[in-house]
Amino acid sequence: MKFIHKDFLLGTKTARRLFHNHAEALPVFDYHCHLAPQDVAANRQFRNLYEIWLEGDHYKWRAMRTNGVPERFCTGNASPLEKFKAWAGTVPQTLRNPLYHWTHLELKRYFGINELLSEKTAAKIWAEANAQLATSALSTHGILRKFKVKVVCTTDDPTDPLEHHRAFAKSGHPTRMLPAFRPDKALMVDAPAAFNAWVERLADAANVDVNGFSAFISALERRHDYFHAHGCRLSDHGLSHCYADFCPEKTAAAIFDKVRRGEAATPAEHAQFAAHMMWFFGRLDAAKGWTKQLHLGALRNNNSRLLKQLGPDTGFDSIGDFPQAQALAAYLNRLDLENALPKTVLYNLNPADNHVFAAMIGNFQDGSVPGKIQYGSGWWFLDQKDGMEQQLNVLSHLGLLARFIGMITDSRSFMSYPRHEYFRRILCNLIGRDVECGLLPDDEKLIGPLIRNICYFNAERYLNFPGLTRTMGKPPAAK
């Protein structure tokens, strides 16, 4: 049996049937990622495998550093080919890390390359992949077509002019690229210089003179309206934990004024201000029928020496152990009490919180929308076979797996679309095994729709993006 074969990860006959009949051919609905919108709009053509695959990939840098590769070959000034060779030399040491599966699945799906990547095969794979990257089939537009990406939601700062989203919408490409509103910088009152610089950008973008807290709120409302007019129906927040120290508006306004004078908010003030803003953002999303995503639990920038040298998002973040349950419940409850709780997707980074999050969602389901509060797919350190299986199992046991809106790439790279295939195989393997053990009925009319809905249709229905033709009925036939 070869590696990454037709039935990769599919351990039973039923799993194979479910995947090939129901999951394999479905389009991709990627509702959360970090692709650069300008690369999509400009139909970027990558000059080599380094540009599309290694540039900006902190997962790979972490593995390379762990393998003893000097920083020069990760983020430093080595040439693209030298960096690629350093990565190729690391790959054989990544056995059992998800990188080993992703690497070979990606080489196969993008370039039809079946060889294992190592120091020995590096030069040949580099030449083969680069030749194909020069063709229109592997420009960003070509890639979106090849992987049948129906929707891609980027992650955007409220000050973003969204001109690339507009330009791409006019291109006639079948993929829909929509923005997502990520206002994390609006909470940063503990860092006055960064906060004030951002407030100035916000003032410009919204064309509002931000001379006080109420003008700040108006400017954010205007940007939310602007995103809405660009088809945005999704927000996102990356927080270590929820904030629930709710305060009166005048307290938030006083904190805002203090920070605008250049003084940092105290930790207690920061917590109050963040709670107030998150309450405000929740109400905004609910009023317009958006879905809110909460990514909770990262412990960021742990290596101050390398943060200073390389900046954030370079591979020095990990899993935090913040208490989550009480503040998360208080936040959701505050919005629910005011009939202002939007559809919400909760993602945890600490696997110890799996059951906490999966149980939490049940508290706020209100019968208005199936699966209104979602327990999101395995995120970041949990976006691997074991993490996905755990998320699927815990959600099955504590909630309704059938209403789950499925997988996202959450990636900065255009080489990540096979993550959907990887998830679909894991899902079909799990369900197929249950069927063959007699834990689920051997009834494809019952199980087939479960697979199809989780892999695609639930996300389309739940997110309900405007102007999107619903993909109805049976999936297209498998290749």
Residues in contact with Zn ion by CB under 5 A are: 410
**In terms of CB distance, is 410 or 460 closer to Zn ion?**
410
Q: How far apart are CA 147 and CA 186, in angstroms?
A: 35
Q: How far apart are CA 265 and CA 140, in angstroms?
A: 43
**Pair 264, 190: CB distance under 8 Å:** yes
**In terms of CB distance, is 145 or 412 closer to Zn ion?**
412
**In terms of CB distance, is 411 or 429 closer to Zn ion?**
411
Q: Which residue is nearest to Zn ion (CB)?
A: 410
Supply the minimum distance, in Å, between the C-beta of residue 479 and Zn ion. 30
Supply the minimum distance, in Å, between the C-beta of residue 34 and Zn ion. 6
Q: Scan for tokens 């959701």, then name that residue.
A: 332
What amino acid occupies position 139? S
**Pair 361, 374: CB distance under 8 Å:** yes
Supply the minimum distance, in Å, between the C-beta of residue 292 and Zn ion. 14
Supply the minimum distance, in Å, between the C-beta of residue 295 and Zn ion. 6
In the beta sheet, which residues pair with residue 177? 152
CB atoms within 10 A of CB 264: 16
**In terms of CB distance, is 9 or 349 closer to Zn ion?**
349
Supply the minimum distance, in Å, between the C-beta of residue 148 and Zn ion. 22
Supply the minimum distance, in Å, between the C-beta of residue 151 and Zn ion. 16
In the beta sheet, which residues pair with residue 291? 234, 343
Supply the minimum distance, in Å, between the C-beta of residue 99 and Zn ion. 18
Supply the minimum distance, in Å, between the C-beta of residue 410 and Zn ion. 4
Supply the minimum distance, in Å, between the C-beta of residue 378 and Zn ion. 12
Backbone angles phi and psi of 157, in degrees to 5: -70, 145
- In whole angstroms, how far apart are CA 239 and each of 186, 322, 425? 12, 11, 31
Closest Cα to residue 104, out of 114, 94, 95, 96? Answer: 114
Helix pair angle (249-260, 213-229), 10° resolution: 100
Q: Which residues contact 215 (CB under 8 A, 6 or more apart)?
A: 208, 209
DSSP 264-305: PPPHHHHHHHHHHHHHHHHHHHHHTT-EEEEEE-EE----HH
**In terms of CB distance, is 156 or 410 closer to Zn ion?**
410
- In whole angstroms, how far apart are CA 417 and each of 61, 309, 407, 433, 437? 20, 31, 11, 25, 31
DSSP 13-37: HHHHHHIIIIITT--EEE-S----H
Supply the minimum distance, in Å, between the C-beta of residue 353 and Zn ion. 17
Q: Which residues contact 400 (CB under 8 A, 6 or more apart)?
A: 370, 371
**In terms of CB distance, is 383 or 410 closer to Zn ion?**
410
Sort 303 into a burial class: Cβ within 10 Å, 0-12 / 13-18 / 19+: middle
**In terms of CB distance, is 353 or 410 closer to Zn ion?**
410
**In terms of CB distance, is 377 or 429 closer to Zn ion?**
377
Supply the minimum distance, in Å, between the C-beta of residue 238 and Zn ion. 7
**In terms of CB distance, is 24 or 353 closer to Zn ion?**
353
**In terms of CB distance, is 269 or 410 closer to Zn ion?**
410
**In terms of CB distance, is 90 or 409 closer to Zn ion?**
409
